[in-house]
Amino acid sequence: MFKYYFMLGVRSLRRNPALTALMVLTLAVGVAASVSTLTILQVMSGNPIPHKSDRLLVPLLDNGSLKGYVPGAKPDDIQMTYRDAANLLASKQGPRRTVVYGIEGGIEPERADLPVVEVSGLAVSSDYFAMFETPFLYGGAWSEKEDGNKAGVIVLSRLQSEKMYGKANPVGKHVRLHSNDFQIVGVLDTWNPIPRYTHLLNGNGGSFNGEDGIFIPFSTAIRIEFGQSGSTTCNDHVTPGYQGFLDSECTWLQFWFESKSASDRVAIQNYLNAYAGEQRKLGRFPRNSENKLYNVTEWLDYLGVVRSDSKLSVWLSFGFLLLCLVNTVGLLLAKFSVRASEVGVRRALGASRAEIFKQFLIETAVVGLAGGLLGLPLSFLGMRIIADQSANLSVVPGMDWMMLGITFLLSVSASILAGLLPTWRACQVTPALQLKSQ
Amino acid sequence: MLRMNNLSKVYRTHMIETHALRGFEIHVKEGEFVTVTGPSGSGKTTFLNIAGLLEEFTGGDYLLDGVNVKGMDDNARSRLRNEKLGFIFQGFNLIPDLSLFDNVDVPLRYRGFNAAERKERIEDALGQVGLASRMKHYPAELSGGQQQRVAIARALAGSPKLLLADEPTGNLDTQMARSVMELLEEINARGTTILMVTHDPELAVRAQRNVHIIDGQVSDLVRKTPSLFDANAAHHAAAAAS
Amino acid sequence: MEIRPIFSALLRNKTAPLLVAIQVAISLAILTNALYIVNNRQAVSVRPSGVTDESTLFRLAIIPITPLNFNENIAQQQRAHQILKGIPGVLSVAATNQMPMTRSGSTSGVARDRKQVKSTPASDYYTSDSLVATLGLKLLEGRDFASDDVLESDPALSNEYPKVVILTQELARQLYPDAGSVIGKPLFFGTGNDAEEVRIIGVVERLQSVGADSSARGEYSTILPRRTDFAQYAVRTEPGQRDRVMKEAAEAMRKIGPAAVTIKTKTVAADRSSRYRSDMALAGLLVTVSALLLLITASGIVGMTTLWVAQRRKQIGVRRALGARKIDILRYFLTENILITTGGIASGLLLAVALNQLLVSQLELTKLPVNYMLAGAGIFWLLGIGAVYGPALRAASISPATATRSA
């Protein structure tokens, strides 16, 4: 019977093309709006490294002054001072740890007539690559020894390498950056975690677009006094000069611990508290506020990475889908009401109420399938449009099997939901071979 | 009251012409009760529709209560229908979502009577058909015969000159049919002209005069049965003439 | 006007009218809030930055790939000035550290008294020329910097601070709400013993902060006369010449030496659209959705009315037979439609307020003003009448013969 009803459903779509087109279109647009905004929201708030996210931890210390401080208030900056970063690095807590800060500059061309290659990226510790599981195309990360030696080594992203060397393997070549020589030791394979959680820049929308093209050792960057591309917050008097900057209470660095297991977190927390206590004895950290540790998802939450605009979009689409649903109920009602005589005849010929219910419900499911078919390309279009327009998202999420499934599921269930009332109505028609008027 | 001269009605669909009525002649005097009979497809309904100003005709003349309706626009016809005619249909054609009161009210609203006048007329009309007590009820709650009576009340409420009935008893059982016919005869006795289309030869006989239509024309077979009503009809015609 | 019978007939047959009313309600609720948000975002994005005639202004930054020492930097700045002034079409050049609406730059806390505990964050602009002249800022009180106000200092060697400052009117009001004129009054960068004291010598009407925040912070800025090792150049050109000059300037600067440099240019107009890109994107999305809402609701009304007309064909014929003119039938359906949409609008307005409450609590929106609700109601009344007109006209053309002819 199912196949029979399915075929009836498909045939009835063709009987009134205008009505069918209207129904399918309305449903498709509603579903497309919901699916595209949902996907984008999910992508933006998704966990970029789910199998490890609870073992990667960001420490948040508060070195702010007591001036105007209300106990319990958030720290002035999410970054830390050079002094604290160096100390935490040296602590050897957890199997791995890294500092991160943003850098920007130009790679000198090999010939004077060639243009400068503008690059941007990160200054990190050698552990960075293993911690965040970056895939390598050629070569690998530098070693801890090279960290210690403040060596001139550099890792390129795949895009950056292709821009400069095409498809060739550039490992071993040299580049000149910030008046210093750097040897290429590795090239990353395509790596686009969404959001770019290892180093979040607030404000300029850095979380979701672009990628980091170069990686150099943190120690080297400090040695050659590579300026920071990011935000620096200084609350107190800073002694002039680079060393003065490093010694100051200005915060400008991001730090990550890796813990052995989720339970290891306690050990690191204890270390952090002990460290803060020591520093207080030296006269720092006057606020004595709580020293926090955040894992990846907690950190993304804390920073409010998902903008309220995205949440608004999702709510909007659901409201929109609701409208489309009500609209579909009306259209289905119209569609079924003109078939009253058909129902009467079928009933007279032996169909039970249940059979009529099945027939018409399957018919609405067919409408839902058609809506899903149309909704799929519309969802693509929707995601493209939203991603293009918003400054944030330059990586357009692709359509995977799950999204495909969700689109059809949403469309069919919305259609069936809308069809319940009209179908029930259709069943109420009394059996008759010829309908009497009035 | 109603006079048609050489009336013709031609339906044109694509390339087929159908002559529903041709050279149609009829004269109904005021106060008469005339039945119209004829086989299916003879043009009875067409005649009734034209008489009732529901359809336009192709050629000839039609005078209703002395007014020549040829060339009247839709608005004028509607107004004339509203003021001079009353309709009774085979299927009752009451509006199911309106109470009996509101159903009878419909034509009065288009007439422009004020609320008080309408109320009076409705109560009076429903009273005449014996259903005043059930004013607030809905058609679905009544039997077929009762529904037809409400339809008659609706037809009467505007004090029409001419009542047009299309198989008024067609959907009723014999008992109900009889009571409806009695009601119609009563109404006619009080002076309203009635033109009734019917299949039923028994009913046709009851009327004073029968017009038989075959192939869109009045046939020669005009039967006249002397009855009580003749005297009344003559009396009213005389009264109207003076 | 037969409102009561129409209304009671609707009550007897509630489903279809309810569906239309619900669609109107949902659409109205979403539409009013959406249009309000659009208006808000729009209003934010057209706020003046303080820069006059933004279309003739661009900024240019020279980034040496090999860092220069302080003196080399200063020399390069002088050469840059000469090159830029030499390009035809250039009206004015100012070296500065940051530009409004770029979301990139320095913010410092300022106060009127060093004993204060809390300071007010304000964007601190440096210039060694005249930002007032090049950006076209409106000087309300006091004066612009003179060349001997400009402090040239190497931040790697000294923390020396300029002696005078120009600030924006809003910042002046915030710091000195009771004072008549702030000229000559002190301004402190930071608080406590380390705070730097400067003297206010000028007030400009407006210069937005680098972030152009939508809150009051967006109007708090200070300008200091200073020459340091980092500069970008704000360049004002003659009308219509901006793009050509920008290209020529970039070309010329590439050869400035001593070593290879990267040149970055961007127009102020581009800064504005970058700053408000996501606001405008959201506005665009909301406008599109609003249009779709109207379309879908209209199609719902058309669909339902067509269905009713078809269902009541006979009834309409009977009414005509009983004397209704075409216009009476038309009026009947219009009245019916207005009753239904009014019901939808009434509940829609309640829903709009509820939705607005939700948005206010969750997404930092403000309360929906009454005229948006009125406008929304008006739109949907018109929409309803417009949508129902077609089917109503078709109903009116149903022949009275339908009463007798159809089965």
Q: Which of B78, B94, B159 to mutate to test the interface with C (most CBs of C within 10 A)?
A: B78
Mean pLDDT across B171-199: 87
Q: How sure is the predictor about C55, in pLDDT bands with cuts at 50, 70 and 90?
A: very high
- Model pLDDT, residue A346: 78
Strand B16-28: give its sheet, edge to edge: B16-28, B2-13, B59-64, B67-68
Q: Please give the helix or strand (H or E) that residue C394 lies within, else none.
A: helix C370-396
Note the pLDDT of residue A204: 38
Nearest to B62 by CA among B74, B47, B82: B47
Cα–Cα nearest to A32, from C38, C289, C35: C289
Q: Which two tokens stand for residue C85?
A: 């002034």
Phi, psi (5° rounding) for residue A60?
Answer: -125, 110
Q: A104 pLDDT exceeds 50?
A: yes
Q: What is the pLDDT of residues C107-116, one digit of tens each?
A: 888 999 988 8
Task: Compute the average pLDDT of residues A315-322.
Answer: 88
Helices (H), C225-276: 242-254, 268-275
> Which amino acid makes up residue B111?
R
- The chains found to touch B (3+ Cβ pairs under 8 angstroms) are A, C
Whether the per-residue pLDDT at A150 is higher than 90: the answer is yes
Give the amino acid at B35: T
DSSP reduced 3-state for B141: helix
Where does C312-325 have alpha helices with state H? 313-321
Higher-scoring residue by pLDDT: C223, A68:
C223
The whole-number pLDDT of residue C88 equals: 94
Question: Under a CB-based contact definition with an 8 Å cutoff, are residues A435 and A341 in contact?
Answer: yes
- The alpha carbon of residue A340 is apart from the nearest alpha carbon of chain B, in Å, by 18
pLDDT at C327 (0 to 100)? 92
Candidates B55, B106, B166; nearest CB to C322: B106
Give the whole-angstrom CA distance, residue B204 versus residue A310: 79
Measured between CA atoms, how close is A430 to chain C, in angstroms?
Answer: 17
CA distance B202 to C385: 52
- pLDDT-derived band of residue C9, with 50, 70 and 90 as boundaries? confident
Is residue C168 within 8 A of residue C207, CB to CB? The reply is yes
- End residue of a domain, out of C231, C259, C287: C259
Q: Can you say how many angstroms the Cα of residue B142 is from the centroid of all Cα atoms in its chain?
A: 22
The pLDDT of residue C75 is above 60? yes
Q: Cβ–Cβ of C321/B82 closer than 8 Å?
A: no
Has residue B242 got a pLDDT over 50? Answer: no
Q: What is the pLDDT of residues A391-414, one digit of tens each?
A: 555 555 666 777 788 888 888 998
Mean pLDDT to the nearest integer, C255-280: 88
Domain spans, chain B: 2-241
Contacts 24+ apart (CB under 8 A), C358-364: C359/A312, C359/C33, C359/C37, C362/A308, C362/A311, C363/A308, C363/A311, C363/A312, C364/A308
Tell me whether residues B81 and C322 touch, CB distance under 8 A: yes
With a pLDDT cut of 90, the percent of chain C lying above it is 62
CA distances from A269 to A54, A61, A298, C300 (A): 14, 11, 15, 60
- B238 burial (CB, 10 Å; 0-12 / 13-18 / 19+) is exposed
pLDDT at A380: 84
Give me the mean pLDDT over the A39-58 stretch. Answer: 83
- Retrieve residue A397's tokens: 């999420």
CA distance B97 to chain A (A): 12
Range(s) of the domain holding residue C99 = 66-259
Q: Which residues contact C177 (CB under 8 A, 6 or more apart)?
A: none
Reply yes or no on whether the pLDDT at A385 is more than 80.
Answer: no
Residues C209 and C321 both lie in one domain: no
Identify the closest residue of chain B to A436 by CA–CA distance.
B91
Q: Cα separation of C291 and C27, whole Å?
A: 10
**CA dihedral sign, ordered C294, C295, C300, C303:** positive
Residue A203 scores a pLDDT above 50: no
A9 versus C85: which is more confidently predicted? Answer: C85
The domain tally of chain C equals: 2
Q: Which CATH class is domain B2-241?
A: alpha beta
Task: Report the complex ipTM.
Answer: 0.80
Torsion of CA C38, C42, C44, C49, to 10 degrees: 170
- Quote the pLDDT of residue A209: 57
State the CB neighbour count (10 A cutoff) for residue C43: 11
Q: How far is CA A109 from CA A160, A214, A417, B51, C262, in A?
A: 14, 16, 64, 101, 11
The region of weakest confidence among A188-197, A427-436, C8-17, C240-249 is A427-436
Distance CA A313, CA A41 (A): 9
pLDDT at A436: 46
Candidate from A202-206, C81-85, C272-276, C378-382 with smallest mean pLDDT = A202-206
Q: Is the pLDDT of residue C33 over 50?
A: yes
- What are the φ/ψ torsions at residue B86 (nearest 5 degrees)? -130, 145
Same domain flag for C243 and C114: yes
The pLDDT of residue C166 is above 60: yes
Tokens of C131: 């930002």
When comparing pLDDT for B55 and C354, which is higher?
C354
**Arithmetic mean of pLDDT, A250-276:** 91
Across the interface, which of C37, C157, C363 has its CB nearest the CB of A241?
C157
Q: Does C330 touch chain B (CB under 8 A)?
A: no
If you average pLDDT over every residue of chain C, what do you get? 90
Given an 8 Å threshold on Cβ–Cβ distance, is C278 in contact with A309? yes
Output B128-135 pairs: Cβ under 8 A, ≥24 positions apart: B128/B153, B128/B156, B128/B187, B129/B153, B129/B156, B129/B183, B131/B100, B134/B100, B135/B99, B135/B100, B135/B101
Residue B224 is predicted with a pLDDT of 54
Average pLDDT over residues A66-94: 87
> In this complex, is the C-beta atom of A60 within 8 Å of any C-beta atom belonging to chain C?
no
Write out the DSSP string of A110-135. SSTTSPPEEEEEEEE-THHHHHTT--
Predicted pLDDT of residue A437? 41
**Averaged pLDDT for residues B55-63:** 87
- What would the two tokens of residue A5 be? 């009803």
Query: If 0-12 CB within 10 Å is exposed, 13-18 middle and 19+ buried, where does residue A228 land?
Result: middle
The C-alpha atoms of residue C103 and residue C49 are separated, in whole angstroms, by 13
So where are chain A's domains? 2-48+307-427, 62-290
Q: Which residues of A41-55 are buried (b: 16+ CB within 10 A; e: fewer)?
A: bebbbbebbeeebbb
Least CA distance to A437: which residue of chain B?
A: B91
In a domain? residue C53: no
Tell me what pLDDT residue A389 has.
65
Cβ-based burial of A66 (10 A; exposed 0-12, middle 13-18, buried ≥19) = exposed
**Which residue of B54, B97, B154 is in closest CB contact with C9?**
B97
Best C31, C289, C304, C356 residue to mutate vs chain A (most A CBs within 10 Å): C289
Q: Is C190 part of a structural domain of the chain?
A: yes
What average pLDDT does this structure show over C237-244? 94
Q: Which amino acid is located at A425 in the chain?
A: R
- Using only C-alpha atoms, chain A has a radius of gyration, in whole angstroms, of 31
Q: Are residues C400 and C368 in the same domain?
A: yes
CA distances for C200 relative to A329, C116, C128, C162, C227, angstroms: 68, 18, 17, 11, 19
Using the predicted structure, report yes or no on whether residue A386 has a pLDDT greater than 80.
no
Amino acid identity, residue A412?
V
Query: Which range is most confident: A130-134, A316-320, C364-368?
Result: A130-134
Rounded to whole angstroms, the Cα distance separating A158 from A170 reads 11
Q: How far is CA C348 from CA A320, C339, C376, C399, in A?
A: 14, 14, 9, 37
CA-CA distance, C94 to C147, in Å (whole number)?
13
A324 touches chain C (CB under 8 A): yes
Among partner residues A320, A421, A425, which is closest to C293 by beta-carbon distance? A320
The stretches of C255-312 forming alpha helices (DSSP H) are: 268-275, 277-311
Shared domain for C127 and C169, answered yes or no, is: yes
Residue C149 has pLDDT above 80, yes or no: yes
Give residue A202's pLDDT band: very low, low, confident or very high (50, 70, 90).
Answer: very low
Domain boundary among C259, C289, C315: C259
Helices marked H in A338-400 — which ranges?
340-348, 353-389
Q: What are phi and psi of A253, to 5 degrees?
A: -120, 150
C145-154 long-range Cβ contacts below 8 angstroms, 24+ apart: C145/C201, C145/C202, C145/C223, C145/C225, C149/C201, C149/C225, C150/C225, C150/C226, C150/C227, C151/C225, C151/C226, C151/C227, C152/C74, C152/C128, C152/C226, C152/C227, C153/C226, C153/C227, C153/C228, C154/A240, C154/C70, C154/C228, C154/C229
- Which chain A residue has the Cα nearest residue B92? A438
Question: Which positions in chain A touch B93 (Cβ < 8 Å)?
Answer: 438
Q: Confidence band (pLDDT; 50, 70, 90) for A116?
A: confident
Position A134 confidence tier, pLDDT thresholds 50, 70, 90: very high
Query: Is residue C206 within 8 Å of C49, Cβ to Cβ?
Result: yes
> Who among C12, C315, C321 is closest to B54 (CB)?
C321
CA C25 to chain centre: 28
Which of C16, C119, C277 has the CB atom closest to A391's CB atom?
C277
Choose the mutation target among B72, B77, B106 for the interface with C, i.e. most C CBs under 10 Å. Answer: B106
**Is C373 a member of any domain?**
yes
Q: Which of B26, B30, B18, B23 is nearest to B48 (CA)?
A: B26
Q: Are residues C398 and C253 in the same domain?
A: no
Tell me what the mean pLDDT of segment C217-221 comes to: 94
Distance from CA of A349 to the nearest CA of B (A): 26
Give the whole-angstrom CA distance, residue C338 versus residue C336: 6
Tens of pLDDT, residue by residue over B6-49, are: 888 888 887 888 888 888 888 888 888 988 888 777 788 888 88
Mean pLDDT of A133-162: 93
Question: Contacts of residue B91 in chain A, CB cutoff 8 Å?
Answer: 437-438
Q: What is the pLDDT of residue A18?
A: 80
Tokens of B3: 């006079």
Instruction: Report pTM.
Output: 0.80
User: Which residues on neighbouring strands pair with residue B21, listed in sequence order?
Assistant: B9
Cβ C319 vs Cβ C404: under 8 Å = no
On average, the pLDDT of chain B sits at 83
Residues C187 and C291 in one domain: no
Strands (E), A125-171: 136-139, 153-156
A88 pLDDT higher than 60: yes
Contact between A426 and A336 under an 8 Å Cβ cutoff? The reply is: yes
Residue of chain B nearest C315, judged by CA positions: B95
pLDDT, residue C405, reads 74
Would C136 be classed as within a structural domain?
Answer: yes
Task: Using the Cα atoms of residue A332, residue A335, residue A336 and residue A338 in order, give the sign of their dihedral.
Answer: positive
